[in-house]
């Protein structure tokens, strides 16, 4: 079973939901702010995604800018970054979709087609 971490008001999340539903792909929803992934869950997601941890940060988010993370992340260890992400779901890029083996971050139709439809 796939899980989608999402924020209901997020337009990108809505597009991803619509795409998966149109392609008859079932998934469970987790509210990324009310139920953010734990530090351990995030570490597993990062490892399985083959993406750098920076790709998991919502760089266009208000909280990211308020905390001046663009400058601060460069000097942080991965453990600190994981703890920061786990502390506030608004810092996490969304949606994150996983089936336990594969992980996508954000929504690009081509990536979803390659990962979830084929």
- Alpha-carbon span 104 to 98, nearest angstrom: 7
The full set of domains in the chain, from first to last, is: 2-117 (3.40.30.10)
pTM value is 0.94
Q: What is the pLDDT of residues 10-20, one digit of tens each?
A: 999 999 999 99
CB neighbour list of residue 46: distance below 8 Å, 6 or more residues apart: 53, 56, 82
Q: Give the three-class secondary structure for 77.
A: coil
CB neighbour list of residue 80: distance below 8 Å, 6 or more residues apart: none
Residues 4/45, Cβ–Cβ less than 8 Å: no
Q: What is the pLDDT of residues 6-61, one digit of tens each?
A: 999 999 999 999 999 999 999 999 999 999 999 999 999 999 999 999 999 999 99
């Amino acid at each position: 079973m796939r899980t989608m971490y999402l924020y209901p008001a997020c337009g990108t999340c809505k597009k991803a939901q619509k795409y998966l539903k149109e392609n008859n792909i079932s998934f469970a929803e987790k509210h990324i702010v009310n139920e953010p992934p734990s530090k351990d869950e995030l570490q597993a997601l990062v490892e399985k995604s083959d993406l750098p941890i920076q790709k998991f940060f919502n760089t266009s988010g208000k909280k990211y800018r308020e905390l001046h993370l663009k400058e601060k992340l460069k000097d942080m260890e991965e453990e600190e970054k994981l703890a920061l992400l786990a502390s506030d779901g608004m810092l996490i890029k969304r949606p994150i979709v996983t089936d336990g083996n594969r992980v996508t971050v954000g929504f690009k139709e081509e990536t979803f087609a390659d990962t979830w439809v084929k």
